[in-house]
């Protein structure tokens, strides 16, 4: 798998944006924090494509696992973070960016609705990965007795409306950038073509 200088640069830029997004706005919930990271995840898939979008999030996760304090909740970094209840959402973000990139692979005439549906699919993907992980860590590692309803109440319900807003904003921004690149005739060399 070869990467051009542009691929490497854009992957690094979005990994850095993920760091900033995770650290910029942190509203602590009972267990799951609110951050702008899902917005960056959606943009990475929408603008970089499946392969580079997912890779940018992998780079972000690796930065945290080697010990840099880049994650949204304590302890903010280190290999032990895989045992945090919210780590499953980070894994889900990788798959989410990939799925969004795949869904937007052929989008020359795509309108806002297609972009928005792709972003919604991304939201569904990281919830499908993150919520069972949250349940598993709370139940089997931390030894708490929790119900599925409780997991939904702390990991889904408080965030879904904000996730829909982020999905709409990411769809509008990704589409606007794509149209601008197309208008300048650089669509063949722009990062979103790297699937």
Q: Walk along the chain (195 residues) in steps of 10 and give the mean pLDDT of each run.
A: 90 97 71 88 96 98 97 91 96 98 85 96 98 97 96 95 97 92 58 46
Copy the structure tokens of residue 150.
């409780």
CATH topology of domain 5-193: Arp2/3 complex 21 kDa subunit ARPC3 (1.10.1760)
Contact 131, 151 (CB under 8 A): yes
Which pLDDT tens digit goes with each residue over 73-101? 888 999 999 999 999 999 999 999 999 99
pLDDT computed for residue 83 by the predictor: 96
pLDDT computed for residue 122 by the predictor: 98
pLDDT computed for residue 186 by the predictor: 56
Distances 123 to 69, 98, 156, 161 between C-alpha atoms, Å: 25, 12, 11, 11
Domain-by-domain residue ranges, the chain?
5-193
Q: Count Cβ atoms below 10 Å from residue 66 Cβ, excluding itself.
A: 11
pLDDT computed for residue 188 by the predictor: 39
Cis peptide before 152 (omega within 30 of 0): no
pLDDT computed for residue 151 by the predictor: 97
């Amino acid at each position: 798998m070869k990467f051009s200088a542009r691929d490497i640069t854009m992957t690094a830029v979005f990994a850095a944006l993920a760091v900033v997004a995770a650290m910029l706005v942190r509203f602590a919930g009972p267990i799951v924090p609110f951050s702008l990271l899902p917005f960056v995840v959606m943009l990475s898939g929408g603008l970089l494509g499946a392969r580079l979008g997912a890779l940018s999030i992998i780079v972000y996760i690796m930065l945290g696992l080697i010990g840099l304090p880049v994650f949204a909740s304590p302890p903010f970094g280190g290999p032990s973070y895989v045992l945090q209840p919210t780590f499953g959402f980070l894994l889900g973000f990788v798959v989410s960016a990939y799925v969004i990139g795949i869904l937007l692979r052929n989008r020359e005439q795509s309108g806002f609705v297609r972009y928005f549906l792709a972003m919604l699919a991304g939201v569904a993907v990281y919830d499908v990965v993150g919520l069972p992980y949250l349940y598993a860590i709370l139940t089997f590692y931390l030894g708490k007795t929790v119900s599925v309803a409780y997991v939904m109440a702390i990991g889904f319900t408080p965030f879904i409306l904000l996730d829909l807003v982020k999905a709409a904003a990411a769809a509008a921004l990704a589409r606007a950038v794509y149209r601008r690149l197309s208008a300048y005739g650089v669509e063949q060399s722009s990062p979103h073509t790297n699937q």
